[in-house]
Copies of this chain bind each other. A is one copy, B any other.
């Protein structure tokens, strides 16, 4: 049960040097003769020594301080993400990382920049933000990094910034995935896809649309996009009008938010409904999937995103080298492979 693992003292003894010298080698303090370095290295290999991080962290008394900034509002997706961050914050405290979750006015780059500047004075180790396309944000990120603060963008990147990593899905991939599934559902039959976006000027949505176009071929065509401004009432009106105007539409792909409106339209539809693919597993999309009102939900796994952000920031704070950011792959949910619904104990809401 409790064998002992070799310590650095064991290494030193085995290498025939003092503890101090072994320490100089493993912590790269320099001032050690080449032959001693080699002997210590050999001893490490022979004994299979690995540094005890618990002891190391303890001795250094290191406390990581991170912050995550999310857009405010009642958006279901960010609500879910916020809950995930707060849950992570609690369990991370035992490992000496203090994570504060803050919100900032959505779609307001200036507010975000002000918040970042405040955090910079607050001696923090790393920050996660939901990016936006503004140059001022890119500059603020540059300033933070100049102070040695790690910065990762989450869900949405900040183009032209030198953030340490982007943690999120590739939206072109997401759009292609949607397109593939829609094509599969048509099985070679002709069809017309109605794309719904928040705004064509939003980079994320444009990328998803581009991905969709990459895949759509053969006798599938695209109807003109609807811009729903991520608001369910506008989406509802737009989709209802489009479906009425064009009976040839066989599929709807919603790249943005406001899908409660889309779902209402589908629910009220007489006869066979089109194939519906949309993004993000949130309470209303989950219910719609379970009810058979929609076919596919493409999710960007905020759980995984949150975990990666924290790991990445910690790695940066330790100066363990740059983050190697494997992209998060969009996950496909149908009615049958939904994850178990988790009830948020605080709000009582179902996720």
Contact = CB atoms under 8 A, between A and B. Distances in A.
Interface of A: 1-5, 48, 50-55, 57-58, 61-63, 65, 93-96, 98, 123, 125, 173-174, 176-177, 179-181, 184-189, 211, 215, 272, 275, 295-296, 326-327, 329-340
B63 A5 contact: yes
Contact of A1 (B52, B123, B215, B332): B123
A119 to B, nearest CB: 13
A272 to B, nearest CB: 7
A338 B62 CA distance: 38
27 contacts: A1-B63, A1-B125, A2-B62, A3-B65, A4-B63, A48-B93, A52-B58, A52-B94, A53-B54, A54-B55, A54-B58, A54-B95, A176-B336, A176-B337, A177-B334, A180-B334, A180-B335, A180-B336, A181-B184, A184-B185, A185-B187, A186-B187, A215-B336, A329-B339, A331-B331, A332-B332, A332-B334
A96 to B, nearest CB: 7
A173 B50 CA distance: 42
Nearest to A123: B1
Contacts of A93: 5, 48, 50
Contacts of A54: 53-55, 57-58, 95-96
A58 B55 contact: yes
Contacts of A2: 61-63
Contact of A189 (B58, B187, B332, B339): B187
